[in-house]
Amino acid sequence: MIEISAGGVVYKEENGELQFLLIEDRYGKRTLAKGKQEPGETLEENALREVLEETGVRGQIIKPLYTVHYQYKHAKTGELVDKEVHYYLIEALSGKLAAQIEEINAVHWRSPADAWHDQVTQGYSNNDQVMKLALHHFGIEV
């Protein structure tokens, strides 16, 4: 079974300061907004919809960043799932932070240094490269 998802590294510049949006998932991990692609939806539409649903932020895609591949065992069927997550760099345009309470514990704007720290200490390691590429886009090396 193959599962396709999309999401993004969302950023904003406010008062000359760059910030990145991280979510705290139901497992207490800091991660990026993402979710399953719906029928007839492009990957870009999927990413923007998931960011809006999970965080309350409306954005625009700047560029593709990276595609993460991993496997997991489906909780109900026990079937091995090949998951593919397409990540984009997304600029926040509007919206008020609002965590999707069914899936998300909290949503946080973080400085680049704090976002990277959260990623490597509290995040999923398969997203390290995604965050690294987003930071690199802004000339930030980690």
pLDDT tens by residue, 36-60: 999 999 999 999 999 999 999 999 9
Mean pLDDT of the chain: 95
Number of domains in the chain: 1
Q: Is 84 a member of any domain?
A: yes
pLDDT tens by residue, 94-128: 888 787 777 789 999 999 999 999 999 999 999 99
- Residue 12's domain comprises 2-137
Q: Is 100 a member of any domain?
A: yes
pLDDT at 100: 78
Q: Is 142 a member of any domain?
A: no
Q: Is 22 a member of any domain?
A: yes
Question: How is the chain classified by DSSP, letter by letter?
Answer: -EEEEEEEEEEEEETTEEEEEEEEETTS-EE-EEEEPPTT--HHHHHHHHHHHHHSEEEEEEEEEEEEEEEEE-TTT--EEEEEEEEEEEEEEEE-----TTTEEEEEEE-HHHHHHHHHHHS-GGGHHHHHHHHHHTT---
Q: Is 79 a member of any domain?
A: yes
- The pTM (predicted TM-score) of the whole model is 0.93
